[in-house]
Amino acid sequence: MLQPTNKKIILNPLISIWAIVQLAIVFYYGIYSEQEALKYISEADYLLKNGHFSEPKYLFYASYILLHLFMKIIGAGTIGVYLTQLSLNALATHFFYKLTLEYTNKYAANISTLLLIIFIPYQAWTAHLYTESLFCSCIVFLCYSFLSKNLSWKKKAISVPLLLMLTILSRPTGLLFIPIIFFAFLLSTRHIKLSYKCLLAMIVTILFVAILQYAMYGKGEFNFLKPFVQEHIICGMPTNNIAFIENDKADNALPALWQFISNHTTTFLKLIGKRLIAFWGLYRTYFSWKHNLMLAFFFYPVYFLFVAGLKSQFANSRMVFYTSLLTIFIFSVSIVITCDDWHNRFIMPLVPILLLGTAFTVKKIYKE
């Protein structure tokens, strides 16, 4: 993103725009360290004092908690965490540009990266000391490592597992990238026999279900049965008056969830529709009409442009095509079996994927 001219390095306008956007965001929000941010700050304090996490679930937030801990130890505090998020966001933006440039052209790469930079609902999380900013940056790094044509398979064999692990330890939904990466590879490669593909798919599916089963043994925010019993559309907002008593970890396992779905199929089907509408539609009754309009303005055109570029994605790179569709499908399924976030946070990891697909549409419109 740096272009040398007459032996002088001139900043790409995208860098200037990124800096202006980030300054505006931090000026508007400040460094937000309330609500959920307090959970990670206090857990870092607990880890420093006791040498272990207060609950096993925090393993899936380890990288972010350790970042808080490190900044606390060196005296940088919340400013250090913010500056790290900001730096990683800048680096992720650079790698997003490089990846789109590999598969499209300079015009499409510039347009898609510009859209990412000015995508305020996505960029705003940089100023929040939540896991979203780090998680989304990790996803971009992982996608670049997995999809880049400029990296050798030897480099991918090292970088992809490491970045996948970092993504998983940034947020529990990072686990979803295990099947995404694996099945995208299987579907796009032609050098493995079908029988071997089926065998590998069965092994990875069993392992993933086992990991998911382990993750679902928990209470509170890790309870996957409670949102069904109380019919949550938005997490933490029950739509019925049924009391849910957390008294047995076994009740939170996959068999119990499957039993509930089997016995309440009609309820489950209704929840599927309502949760997907909340997830992709973004509308919230408690948001102002201006905020809802802002979300529609940013997201809805990107949906259209992404779909318009699917044929071009498939023609240019099956790896990108399958990675995009699997990410969208599996994240949507995760919402179906849980609930959506109050602030639309759960859709933010899909923004770089959607904009990568948008680049293919832009390329078709403006060919070099």
Q: Are 326 and 301 in contact (CB under 8 A)?
A: no
Distance of CA 110 to the CA centre of its chain: 22
In this structure, is the dihedral angle defined by the CA atoms of residues 281, 302, 352 and 69, taken in order, positive or negative? Answer: negative
Is the confidence at residue 9, as pLDDT, over 60?
no
Q: What is the pLDDT of residue 221?
A: 56
Span 18-41, average pLDDT: 94
CA gap 62, 308 in Å, rounded: 38
Confidence band for 256, pLDDT divided at 50, 70 and 90 = confident
Confidence band for 139, pLDDT divided at 50, 70 and 90 = very high
Instruction: Give 149-202 pLDDT, tens digit per residue.
Output: 999 989 999 999 999 999 999 999 999 999 999 999 988 887 777 777 888 888
Instruction: Give 95-122 pLDDT, tens digit per residue.
Output: 999 999 999 999 999 999 999 999 999 9
CB burial class (10 A; 0-12, 13-18, 19+) of residue 124?
Answer: buried
Is the confidence at residue 10, as pLDDT, over 60?
no
Confidence band for 245, pLDDT divided at 50, 70 and 90 = low
Q: Tell me the C-alpha to C-alpha distance, in Å, between residue 67 and each of 26, 47, 64, 88, 164.
A: 20, 12, 5, 12, 18
pTM (2 decimals)?
0.90
Which of 2-6, 10-14, 293-297 has the weakest average pLDDT? 2-6
In this structure, is the dihedral angle defined by the CA atoms of residues 200, 202, 208 and 210, taken in order, positive or negative? Answer: negative
Instruction: Give 39-86 pLDDT, tens digit per residue.
Output: 999 999 999 999 999 988 898 899 999 999 999 999 999 999 999 999
Is the confidence at residue 7, as pLDDT, over 50?
no
Is the confidence at residue 217, as pLDDT, over 70?
no
